[in-house]
Each structure stands twice: as structure tokens, then as C-alpha cells.
Chains A and B, each alone.
Chain A
């Protein structure tokens, strides 16, 4: 079974600075998908970014980018120019392709990000 590990329970960053959240995963599959979800205090889960394992290029979405290291099974999230609205719990998630995986996500434990003004 796949596992996802977020080793940083909490992180903090100053407004306008850059922060990197770590995620590692364990899998024997060669093709899969990785996600970062954001959960602000409102509890709403919001997709931040998505990476397909067969794509070597790292995904980016505005101020959010990932560093995907397939051999190391690492998938970190970099937030540039941090804003107060970025304060949230961030979850890394893994999904297998097709077969009987049926959209199932395996989540990490989450990292609480605090942004200081």
C-alpha cells in the first residue's frame, strides 16, 4: 500500500518570503499522481497543484510550484511571496492511475503553515 509522509507538523514564514513544505511517499508504481491540497481555517479543502509522475517538468500555479524528485520519491511544495491568506494546513496526497484505484487519494498527515506579517 502507498504511504505519504509529511515530516513537518508545523512551519512558519514571514510575509513576502518563500517557504518549502516537504512530502515523501512510498510506492512501487511507476505512474501515479501527486497533489497538494490547502485547508484554511474555514475547513474547506482546496486543490493547490497537481503533478503527473510521467511528466518530468515540475508543475507551477502562480506563486506555487513543486520540486518533484521521482527517484527520491519526494514532492515538495514551494510557496513564493507568501501572503497572509496562505496560512492553512497543507496536505500532500497520492493517487494511483486507473485500475481499481477509482479516484482514491492517500493523504499525508498535514503541515500547518503560519504566515507572520
Chain B
């Protein structure tokens, strides 16, 4: 009953460092996405994928890369971390990319960039 698993739960980076946030789901979901949550701004979509090999940008994609080589995994890469990327990051998946589908969220990654 794992659902959507995100690692790590907490991370501190220095400006300019790179890292990858991991996301895996075991529900054979077609659709996966990454959101960031900032105080007073709700959640904003970074990137999404409608299937293996297919990704696209969301509302705030700058500074982030994604790939989807398998149905299960959807890692988010920060190429050169900046303090503006300090946030809580959520991975989410749904059975299909139909917009009325329930999204299943991971437990989030708290990222601080110093």
C-alpha cells in the first residue's frame, strides 16, 4: 500500500548545488506531476507527465528538469539550486490525465537552499 513515495523528506542545499528529488508510484498511474508549495501561494505546478517518455512544463518550470523513463518513476532535478527554490515539493499521480481524476500525493520534500 505504498502509493506515492517521495525521497528525501528533508534536504538542505547550498546555492549552486544540484540534486534530484525522487518520486515513485506503485499504482500503474498514467499521469504524474510535481508541485511546489509556498506560503500564501498554494501549490503551483512545475512539470507533469502523461505517460512514460512524455513530459511538459507547468506554471513554474524554470530551474527544474524532469524525465519519465518508466511508468513508476518521475524524478525532479534541480540543476543549480537557488534560494528562491526553497519550498515544499509534492509529487502527485492519477490513474489517467483526465482532469476530474483524484490526485494521489506523496508526503512532500521540505527543501531549503542557503
Contact = CB atoms under 8 A, between A and B. Distances in A.
A47 B102 contact: yes
B100 interface: yes
A101 B99 contact: yes
Nearest to B110: A43
Contacts of B40: 9, 109
Contacts of B98: 98, 103
Contacts of B13: none
Contacts of B74: none
Interface stretch (A69-77, A79-87, A89-97): A89-97
Nearest to A94: B99
Contact of A110 (B42, B101, B107): B42
A4 interface: yes
Contacts, number: 68
Interface residues of A, number: 27
Given A43-B88, A43-B108, A45-B90, A103 B103 contact: yes
Contacts of A15: none
Contacts of B103: 45, 47, 103, 105
Contacts of A101: 99
A110 B45 CA distance: 15
Interface residues of B, number: 28
Contacts of A4: 42
Contacts of B99: 32-33, 95-98, 101-104
A59 B98 CA distance: 19
A51 B5 CA distance: 27
B60 to A, nearest CB: 12
Which of B44, B88, B99 counts the most chain A CB atoms within 10 A? B99
Interface of B: 31, 33, 35, 40-45, 48, 50, 56, 58, 88, 90, 92, 94, 96-103, 105, 107-108
Given A45-B90, A52-B100, A105-B103, 14 more contacts: A6-B42, A43-B88, A44-B108, A50-B100, A91-B42, A95-B99, A95-B100, A97-B99, A102-B50, A104-B45, A105-B35, A105-B45, A107-B44, A109-B42
Q: Which 7 A-B pairs have the closest CB atoms?
A: A107-B42, A45-B105, A95-B99, A107-B43, A103-B97, A43-B108, A102-B97
